[in-house]
């Protein structure tokens, strides 16, 4: 079937489910290109911990927004939305189908629905909040966020210090609740959208996560983290895989414990991803082996 109207196919799902391989199979079938919406894969230094497409995969299909920033660069979801929307017309000139894939639900939603432009951070405010977190702990920031923006407080992962920090930072910087930036009406897009999510049996997914962490360690994740330790304050590195190893380097726990924490925290992250995509009824869910069924679903889009 020939698709004549520009169509952005969203391929979402939890970490380690196999989105990269599925996206490449779809892109080969439709002869199109891929946009990465994995916010960790933006950074070129995270060659192991972010599990980006490898050199062979990048040669098979052109990927955009993979390894195009350094960990010290400031980049946010608003800029990503603008960059993707600017790029898409050029991609649609080559092919009426484009695939966007990743597990960063906020970044996917920004492209699909739009998001208010978020202001850049204020260095002084960020320094002040960083010092507060160091002296008072994250609970102080949580309580202020609860006062300024109850909606964000009720919806954000309160154990994710980076999310709490960012939500409070936006409240103080703009004088508006951070949740307002995420709740604006959907923008009209000059292309059709088709949302697909991939999942698998939870026990099998957890097994794949554990195996992938072991493979990352074999490939040299520990050495990669040591080389990046001096950048640990950068937002790009406040993520699973690096945080636990940095704590190991600080003597908080040993390497074996760090590896088990990476596995545990990655499994928890996968559950949060599944919950995020489950909230949107526009997603059609498939098993990772159902590539022919996914292709049929795309080709029969109305």
DSSP 77-146: HHHHHHHHHHHHHHHHHH-SEEEEE-S-HHHHHHHHH--PPPPPPPHHHHHHHHHHHHHH-HHHHHHHHH
What is the rounded average pLDDT of the residues 183-202? 90
What is the rounded average pLDDT of the residues 282-301? 95
What is the rounded average pLDDT of the residues 247-265? 97
User: Is 244 exposed, middle or buried, given 0-12, 13-18 or 19+ CB atoms closer than 10 A?
Assistant: buried
Same domain, 243 and 172: no
The pLDDT score that the predictor gives to residue 117 is: 63
CATH code for the domain in which residue 175 is found: 1.10.20.140
Per-residue pLDDT at 71 exceeds 90: yes
- Full domain range(s) for residue 235: 203-271
Same domain, 293 and 231: no
What is the rounded average pLDDT of the residues 226-239? 92
Number of structural domains, the chain?
3
Determine what percent of the chain is predicted with pLDDT higher than 70.
96
Same domain, 54 and 196: yes
Same domain, 11 and 86: yes
Locate tokens 């608003």: which residue? 78
The pLDDT score that the predictor gives to residue 176 is: 83
Same domain, 228 and 284: no
Q: How far apart are the first and last CA of the chain?
A: 12
User: Is 64 exposed, middle or buried, given 0-12, 13-18 or 19+ CB atoms closer than 10 A?
Assistant: middle
The pLDDT score that the predictor gives to residue 199 is: 96
* Residue 59 is assigned to a structural domain of this protein: yes
CATH code for the domain in which residue 52 is found: 3.40.50.300
* Residue 2 is assigned to a structural domain of this protein: no
* Residue 193 is assigned to a structural domain of this protein: yes
Same domain, 64 and 100: yes
Same domain, 256 and 294: no
Among 283, 209, 203, 196, residue whose Cα is nearest residue 17: 209
Per-residue pLDDT at 181 exceeds 80: no
Per-residue pLDDT at 97 exceeds 90: yes
Same domain, 74 and 191: yes
Same domain, 22 and 89: yes
Same domain, 248 and 104: no
Same domain, 94 and 133: no
* CA 85 distance to own-chain centroid: 17
* Residue 249 is assigned to a structural domain of this protein: yes
Same domain, 52 and 192: yes
* Residue 112 is assigned to a structural domain of this protein: yes
What is the rounded average pLDDT of the residues 33-57? 96
Pick the residue with more confidence: 2 or 240? 240
Q: What is the 3-state secondary structure (H, E, C) of 135-152?
A: HHCHHHHHHHHHHHCHHH
Query: What token pair was written down for 159?
Result: 């154990």
Determine what percent of the chain is predicted with pLDDT higher than 90.
70
* Residue 243 is assigned to a structural domain of this protein: yes
* Residue 56 is assigned to a structural domain of this protein: yes
The pLDDT score that the predictor gives to residue 184 is: 67
* Residue 1 is assigned to a structural domain of this protein: no
pTM exceeding 0.85: no
Q: Which residues are paired to 288 by β-bridges?
A: none
DSSP H stretches of helix in the chain: 19-30, 55-60, 77-94, 105-113, 123-136, 138-148, 150-155, 161-174, 178-182, 202-219, 221-228, 243-249, 255-278, 291-299
Most confidently modeled of 98-112, 122-136, 201-215, 231-245?
A: 201-215
Per-residue pLDDT at 196 exceeds 70: yes
């Amino acid at each position: 079937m020939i698709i004549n109207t520009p169509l952005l196919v969203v391929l979402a799902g939890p970490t380690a489910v196999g989105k990269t391989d599925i996206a490449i199979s779809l892109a080969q079938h439709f002869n199109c290109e891929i946009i990465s919406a994995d916010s960790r894969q933006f950074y070129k230094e995270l060659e192991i911990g972010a599990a980006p497409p490898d050199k062979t995969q990048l040669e098979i299909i052109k990927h955009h927004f993979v390894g195009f920033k350094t960990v010290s660069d400031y980049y946010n979801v608003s800029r990503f939305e603008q960059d993707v929307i600017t790029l898409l017309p050029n991609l649609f000139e080559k092919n009426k189908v484009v695939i966007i894939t990743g597990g960063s639900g906020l970044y996917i939603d920004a492209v699909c629905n739009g998001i208010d432009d978020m202001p850049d951070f204020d260095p002084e405010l960020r320094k002040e909040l960083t010092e507060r977190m160091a002296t008072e702990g994250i609970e102080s920031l949580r309580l202020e966020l609860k006062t300024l923006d109850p909606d964000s407080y009720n919806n954000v992962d309160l154990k994710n210090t980076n999310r709490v920090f960012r939500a409070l930072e936006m409240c103080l910087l703009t004088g508006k609740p951070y949740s307002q930036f995420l709740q604006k009406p959907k923008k009209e897009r000059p292309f059709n959208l088709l949302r697909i999510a991939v999942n698998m049996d939870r026990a099998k997914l957890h097994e794949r996560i554990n195996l992938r962490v072991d493979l990352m360690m074999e490939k040299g994740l520990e050495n990669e983290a040591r080389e990046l330790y001096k950048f640990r304050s950068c937002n790009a590195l406040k993520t699973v895989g690096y945080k636990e190893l940095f704590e190991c380097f600080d003597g908080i726990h040993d390497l074996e414990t760090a590896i088990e924490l990476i596995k545990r925290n990655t499994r928890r992250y996968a559950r949060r991803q599944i919950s995020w995509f489950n909230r949107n009824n526009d997603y059609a869910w498939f098993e990772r082996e159902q590539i022919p069924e996914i292709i049929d679903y795309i080709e029969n889009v109305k």
